Amino acid sequence: MKILVGLISLISILLVTLAGPLYKFGLVDLATAFAGFKFGVFAGIAALVLLVIQLLFKRDTASIGSVLTSAALAIIAIAIPLSMMNSAKNVPPIHDISTDLVNPPEFVAIAPLRADAPNPVEYAGVETATQQRAAYPELQTLRYSQSKSELVEATKQAIDNLGWKLVNIDADKGVIEATDTTAWFGFKDDVVVRITDNSSERLVDIRSKSRVGGSDLGKMRRVFMTLLMSWMGFWGISWVLNEVEMINWIFLALYPF
């Protein structure tokens, strides 16, 4: 009984944790990887049920070490997918967000890299904009007094610090494009920053879009927050953000998602 419980709990955690790397390296498609999540949850539940049966009727075959190990593996295998499902319920089902919903920054250099992506490079449209306004009203065009060259340099430094791949930088146009690749599944999320002159200030707009998936589970908003935090580190928070912006982004940093 102890061996059976241990084996099933091990299978459950392997089904969940290996789903990402198997997809990342092209060994399975996304549907198969997510199926691994589902069966991992089922296996985890089965392991916990068998563990309870073992403790009730076969206590002499159980050791503290084996019980704790099997329970931990099964609980983790169940918790990871359920946590992702909970995140999906708490965010809008969108994968393309922008601080400018009327004239979103365009992907130019990145466009050919997305040629085979399920999600097209074009902006998702009015329905997505409506959902974003309702869920993330704080995502708006940012206004800075720094020069365009300073903002371009700050953005480049932020991208380097975050480990994103810099795809294109056009200092004259104030456009920077980059790609963030997730460690687990290897999902690619593209980011474009557009800096434009507006009298004595600069307008900074950011757009981020996932290449696959209907919902980004709130990832794109985290990309925004991460980039803004990195900008703050470049200059110092008191210089870069005004009071309202500071409150908004501290809220984003603390809000669980």
Average pLDDT over the chain, rounded to whole?
87
Kindly report the CATH number that applies to the domain delimited by 96-254: 3.30.310.80
Span 13-42, average pLDDT: 95
Span 79-95, average pLDDT: 88
Q: What is the pLDDT of residue 161?
A: 84
pLDDT tens digits, residue range 97-137?
Answer: 999 999 999 999 999 999 999 999 999 899 999 999 999 88
Q: What is the pLDDT of residue 132?
A: 93
CA distances from 134 to 21, 130, 138, 243 (A): 35, 6, 10, 22
**More confident call, 182 vs 245:** 182
Q: What is the pLDDT of residue 244?
A: 42
Span 139-145, average pLDDT: 88
**More confident call, 90 vs 4:** 4
CB-hemisphere CA count at 13 Å for 191?
28
Three-state SS for 203? strand
Q: Which of 16, 13, 6 has the alpha carbon at shortest distance from 51?
A: 6
pLDDT tens digits, residue range 226-256?
Answer: 777 777 666 554 444 444 444 444 434 433 3
The pLDDT confidence band at residue 84, using thresholds 50, 70 and 90, is confident
- DSSP secondary structure code for residue 146 in this structure: S
Q: What is the pLDDT of residue 225?
A: 75
Q: Buried b / exposed e across 40-72, counting CB within 10 Å, b at 16+?
A: bbebbebbbebbeebeeeeeeebeeebbeebbe
Tokens of 23: 């997809």
Percent of the chain with pLDDT strictly greater than 70: 89
Q: What is the pLDDT of residue 15?
A: 97
Q: What is the pLDDT of residue 236?
A: 57
pLDDT above 70 for 28: yes
Q: What is the pLDDT of residue 248?
A: 46
Q: What is the pLDDT of residue 256?
A: 34
pLDDT tens digits, residue range 49-72?
Answer: 999 999 988 888 778 899 999 999
